Structure 1
Amino acid sequence: MEREPAAAARPDWNVVVTLPERTFREASRLLRRWGRVRRTGFHNVLVMTVEDPRRFLAEFAAALAEAPGLRNFVSHVVPADRAFDFRDPAEFEARAREVALGWLPRLAGRSLLVRVRRRGLKGALSAHAEERALADAVLAALEAAGTPARVDLEDPDCAIQVETVGGRAGMSLWSREERRAFPFLGIA
């Protein structure tokens, strides 16, 4: 059962970490060298605040390469290039669309995928509906700019990843090469 964190207690984060099971202590010990690690009100989900999400990504990948067994403590580790708070689904949609439209030059003429992992707002925010709405907005903007793109659910050139924890969302745009280099992102 999901518990929604109180708005006042909502942490400021830019990395979401999911755990394979109750490995909070081990995962926290592993991750705290890069930033502040905090529990959430959601089962097996932690959040982190790191200084530079892309640098953290590279350093975390290097740590896993040196000690692959560390992967036993985390399922997915997802840094966010952009993060924002929202009060309701309408604000989420507007803010997510604004971020995604900022990436149009990188998406022009390419294939794309949108993935939303929702934690909280059960019944109010549908991950599938939000994926479709965000993809439609990006595709329409690219078509209007004369640089059409297409959705590819199998092996897209780019993937927009959205992670929500309560009333906060983190978004990143990942290339095919990055997704292959960092499988712990959890995107096909």
Structure 2
Amino acid sequence: MSLSAEGRHSNSNNVDTLGEHSNHLNSLYPADFRIRGLALKELPHYIFFFTCHTFINKQTERALEESLKLVLVLRDLGDDVNMVGVLVICERGAERFVLEEIRDMGSFNGTGFREVLIGEVEDLEDFLTTLENKPYIHVSRVIPYEESFHFKPETLVEILKEKMKKYADRIGAGETFCIRMERRGLKGKLSSKEVEREIGGHLWNLLKDEGKKPKVDLEKPDKTVVIQTLGNLCLLGLVNTEFKQKHYLVRFK
């Protein structure tokens, strides 16, 4: 999605929607959930961002869900173009610095999780190369993703299983694979290791059914299925080892 200034100005209904949603969001935050920044910028895109300093708990869970909804509202503004999704993991306390550094390189938003930004870029290769060629950056990792969806803890595994067929088709005969999941939020409700195990087993069976003789490699797989969750939002993608080795910022836990 493109957040062009022209498209943003041409739709007053979107402006009203953002204002109403922002006011609703502010009313949901408890007193101990301090918002450090809340702004719309036009440089050249309209970018909504917020950063906060608190641990996610039951009191802030609803506010976080509304925050993520607002991120998606912004992503739906403007004309459709081919964009690549990225999670940008910042150094400790550096969200604002990073937003300033990358504001002209795509559309980026806060997520409500410390040091984690979500964004879209037109050219992933160019974005990573530009970041990696800077003498110093406040970015520790970049995680590309291809699709996103909302889920409930009890439905995540089934949704992921349904989506694995197209990823199995992209893993060649003789290629190794692994699943890497990183959870943010939903502590006690979702286990990264359990999801990795279930999805890995399902993908293994899909590859076996295709006659590809599946093989898992947890150290240097040819293909990595990347699962990132931000509260009830899941980001999903497939990364080649060659691409990961070429760009040192592309790393998974």
Alignment identity in percent? 26
Q: Who is 1:149 aligned against?
A: 214
Provide Cα deviations, 1:97-127, integer angstroms capped at 9, x if missing partner.
2222211122143211110010011111101
TM-score, length of structure 1 as denominator length:
0.87
Q: Who is 1:19 aligned against?
A: 90
Rate the CA distance shift 1:150–1:8 in 2: closer, same or farther, 3 A: same
Count of aligned residue pairs for this structure pair: 181
2:67 counterpart of 1:2:
no
2:200 counterpart of 1:135:
yes
Q: Who is 1:95 aligned against?
A: 159
Consecutive unaligned residues in structure 1, runs of 5 or more:
none
Maintained 8 Å contact 1:19/1:45 = yes
Q: Secondary structure at the match of 1:61?
A: helix
Maintained 8 Å contact 2:67/2:111 = no
Residues 109-120 of structure 1: pairs in structure 2 closer than 5 A: 109=173, 110-120=175-185
Q: In structure 2, what is the Cα distance between the partners aligned to 1:9 and 1:24? A: 16
Task: Return the structure number with greater relative CO, CA threshold 8 A, min gap 6.
Answer: 1
Maintained 8 Å contact 2:183/2:229 = yes
Maintained 8 Å contact 1:15/1:170 = no
Q: Secondary structure at the match of 1:75?
A: strand
Question: Which is worse superposed, 95-104 or 164-173?
Answer: 95-104
How far residue 65 of structure 1 moved from its aligned partner, in angstroms, is 4.0
Consecutive unaligned residues in structure 2, runs of 5 or more:
1-54, 76-84
TM-score, length of structure 2 as denominator length:
0.66
Q: Determine which of 142, 162, 186 is the counterpart of 1:77.
A: 142
Which protein is bigger by CA-based radius of gyration?
2
Q: Secondary structure at the match of 1:58?
A: helix
Q: Secondary structure at the match of 2:243?
A: helix
